[in-house]
Copies of this chain bind each other. A is one copy, B any other.
Amino acid sequence: MSDPSFAPRPTLEDIAARAGVSRATASRVVNGSEGVRAPLAERVRQAVDELGYVPNQAARALVTRRNDAIAVVVAEPETRFFADPFFAQQVRGISRELTAHDNQLVLLLTEGAADYQRVGRYLAGGHVDGALIFSLHDDDTLPALARRAGVPTVIGGRPAWSDSETLYVDCDNRGGARDAVHHLLGLGRRRIGHIAGPLDQTASVDRLDGFRDVLPDADPELIVMGDFTPDGGARAMAQLLDHCPDVDGVFAASDVMASGALRLLRQRGLRVPEDVAVVGFDDIVSVAEWTDPPLTTIRQDIEEMGRMMARLLLRRIDPPEAGAALAPSTGAVLAGSEDASVPLSPIVTRTKLVVRASA
Residues of A whose CB lies within 8 Å of any CB of B are 2, 4-7, 9, 52, 54-59, 61-62, 65, 67, 69, 72, 81-85, 87-89, 91-92, 95-96, 99, 104-109, 111, 115, 118, 121-122, 124-127, 129, 150-152, 230, 256, 259-260, 263, 266, 285-286, 289-290, 292, 319
> Is the pair B109, A106 in contact by a Cβ cutoff of 8 Å?
no
What are 16 A-B interface contacts by the 8 Å CB criterion?
A4-B151, A54-B121, A54-B124, A59-B62, A82-B85, A83-B286, A85-B85, A85-B88, A88-B88, A95-B107, A99-B115, A106-B107, A107-B107, A256-B286, A263-B290, A292-B292
Give Cα A115–Cα B96 distance, bound, in whole angstroms: 11
> Known: A121-B54, A151-B4. Is A286-B92 also a contact (CB below 8 A)?
no
> What's the minimum C-beta distance from A118 to chain B, rounded to whole angstroms?
7
> Is the pair B54, A126 in contact by a Cβ cutoff of 8 Å?
yes
> Is the pair B82, A92 in contact by a Cβ cutoff of 8 Å?
yes
Give Cα A115–Cα B92 distance, bound, in whole angstroms: 14
> Is the pair B107, A54 in contact by a Cβ cutoff of 8 Å?
no
Give Cα A269–Cα B64 distance, bound, in whole angstroms: 67
> Known: A58-B62, A290-B260. Is A88-B81 also a contact (CB below 8 A)?
yes
Residues in B neighbouring A61, C-beta threshold 8 A: 58
State which of B62, B104, B289 has its C-beta within 8 Å of the C-beta of A106. B104
> Known: A4-B150, A105-B107, A124-B54. Is A230-B290 also a contact (CB below 8 A)?
yes
